[in-house]
Structure 1
């Protein structure tokens, strides 16, 4: 399962370049049809397509797999970005549908501000929630360590009592005394390691 930080990075890298790609296409449409211009146009087209795919399906799938969902306002922003980028994808598939003026206005005044705001708010949401998850995970680990420390203390107490009982038996209990001492020693070492781990997590 991906962390929310990983999702943020993947989404940002896929969606962010669409702003530049759309603006580049405005310039490249008026360029001569050279190999260099065709390569640049294809790169811009690929970036817009990748952003469209991320907004349409990949991002929702990654969020679902990580048991996270956007708040309504952020989800509305995602859908608005998807709606804004869809006509550009359609114009790439059929260039006759794209008029120069409307393409430029759409890219500059609709797509760019929508995508920029969405990326900013998405980043804030995912990083904030990842931070909360990490804090909760650390708290859960500390609780597990505390429980293990409690078990270790109980084992030490049981081993100590077993040593006393073995001593009362006399010679017959010598072997059991050795085992009880080893158990107590191992329990002490385990508890020391747990204490060290706990101290590291708390710093």
Structure 2
């Protein structure tokens, strides 16, 4: 595994990197890069205590309505949430097979499905269900199909950083595969759709998606660096 570090602002690897003075986590190659990146970094600029992990909350359709946010407002659907030791999302979440096959071991937690309780934030959540699909079928387990999972929480099982932009891109990638890859006959020469749940297709899609969103002026997609 590479030990290189990448500037959180421009995305380039360099030997001259300085840590953010507050959180000590993000690194930058210059004050200019740090200033430019502040709007993206500010929500998670905090020194983490042992065992704390930044997760991503995926809002349900109901929570989006209650907040008065249009369903197509992608940036508002994913938001940072700090997971402290003992948080049920860290203990009860299940690995998403599709993301793991792509090289990102993302785990997902639903209070409704995993804890059996409705916290008043229930409702449908298409991104969460799509993120939980099985690689061999392109379908989520029945408990995810038959129950509205409500607002869910994502985090990387390896405790590495997970951004809102990565969570959104993973959802869009899986949605693309489900709509464009499944249903083509293998006896007609088509490769199994399950073969597309792999690092290479994910990397190609994510780079293109980042580029498209960057061209739209979305700040969180200003660069593309490791770890994604």
Higher relative contact order (CA closer than 8 Å, sequence separation 6+): 1
For normalisation by structure 2, the TM-score amounts to 0.23
Larger radius of gyration: 1
For normalisation by structure 1, the TM-score amounts to 0.25
More helix by share: 1
More strand by share: 2
